[in-house]
A and B are shown apart, each in its own frame.
Chain A
Amino acid sequence: MNAIYNFLIVNPWPWWFSGLMITFIMYLLLFFGKSFGMSSNLRTMCAIGGGRLSSYFKFDWKAQVWNLIVALGAMIGGYIFIHFMNSNPTVGISDATINSLNQIGLNVEKGQVPHFPKEIFSWDSFFTIKGFIFIVIGGFLVGFGTRWAGGCTSGHAISGLSNLQLPSLIAVIGFFIGGLLMVNFILPYLLQLQ
């Protein structure tokens, strides 16, 4: 029992188990006649807020409430695990990553890596140029891009590719072009900002 407890609750999950769990979640949603896609929730929130400026937000959002409940459940999952299951949330990134982060001025220590760089993502930095760009422009691009592409990692990379959809493959290639450009060429300059 202790081994199972350690595997599920104490230690980070290995990649293969995490991947199988994602598929299990997709299976459950298909089983109940739904599909797996988290970014649609952003559109639903626009519709609820009253998106009168575009016909894109005039749809029966009440039929999408189930997906908002999934998002709420995801929040509860995060809440319970950080508060009750893991008192010291650190991430086990590779030594190569730690070295390259230190080179671009993001100082992290092995065994002490938090979920995200707190010096960029915090309310204090929100009012700096750097923080504003990472939080507001970053968020904007995520919301704009996922809707333009018609899905995000869950809708295209997982659901779409599982259903062998060519459009989803194109979208995922796009995700990687954007992500590789950002992390390898743009990010080092953005980090220089104050």
Chain B
Amino acid sequence: MRLLKFIKYAIIGFLFGVTMYKSEAISWFRIYEMFKFQSFHMYGIIGTAILSGILVVLLFKKGVLKSYKRRKLELIAKAKGWKRYLFGGIIFGLGWGMGGACPGPIFVLIGSGYSIFIAFMLAAILGTFTYGVFKDKLPH
């Protein structure tokens, strides 16, 4: 019943795609607006998600919320350090401001029929591949 197992992830992804679409977070103009501090919209979305997310994670940890069949919670502590987060973050931020799309919305844009974002995704895959090749030469 592998298919059945995967259908739930397709449904979760569907909800995510619809959320990115209806929230307008897939829009290049919304990202531009965010980095210009010209609207509360994106800050409201991300802020609400973080605040309610903190509550959800806390309730999971306290055992109030339980996972399906008591599966182990994937709440991995991020490795310590700051270089990779700061430098990598800045590189991603530059690309986010240019392309107006982070990885999630890229998939939604492609699905929406904007085929040019296939080229954007392939470039992103190339970027990921290049990171993999030069990983050991970069500070982490």
Q: For chain A, residues 45 to 66, give those with C-beta under 8 angstroms from any C-beta of chain B.
A: 45-46, 49, 51, 53-54, 56-57, 65-66
- Nearest-CB distance from A128 to chain B (Å)? 13
Q: Report B-chain residues with C-beta under 8 Å of the C-beta of A145.
A: 88-95, 127
The answer to whether A73 touches B33, judged by C-beta atoms less than 8 angstroms apart, is: no
Q: Report A-chain residues with C-beta under 8 Å of the C-beta of B62.
A: none
Q: Report A-chain residues with C-beta under 8 Å of the C-beta of B39.
A: 93-94, 96-97
For A, the interface residue count at a CB cutoff of 8 angstroms equals 126
For B, the interface residue count at a CB cutoff of 8 angstroms equals 114
The answer to whether B79 touches A148, judged by C-beta atoms less than 8 angstroms apart, is: no
Interface status of A193 (Cβ within 8 A of chain B): no
Contact digits for B46-74, partner A, Cβ 8 Å, 1 yes 0 no: 11111011101100100001011001111
Contact digits for B1-28, partner A, Cβ 8 Å, 1 yes 0 no: 0000010111111111111111111111
Q: Report A-chain residues with C-beta under 8 Å of the C-beta of B111.
A: 74-79
Asked, given contacts A25-B15, A46-B132, A184-B36, whether A78 binds B21 with beta carbons under 8 Å apart, the answer is: yes
A interface list, Cβ under 8 A from B: 8, 12-16, 18-35, 38-39, 41-43, 45-46, 49, 51, 53-54, 56-57, 65-67, 69-83, 89, 91-94, 96-97, 100-101, 108, 113, 115-117, 121-123, 126, 133-154, 156-168, 170-184, 186-187, 190
9 residue pairs bridging A and B, Cβ less than 8 Å apart: A31-B65, A33-B74, A78-B107, A101-B32, A135-B99, A135-B116, A135-B120, A156-B89, A167-B80
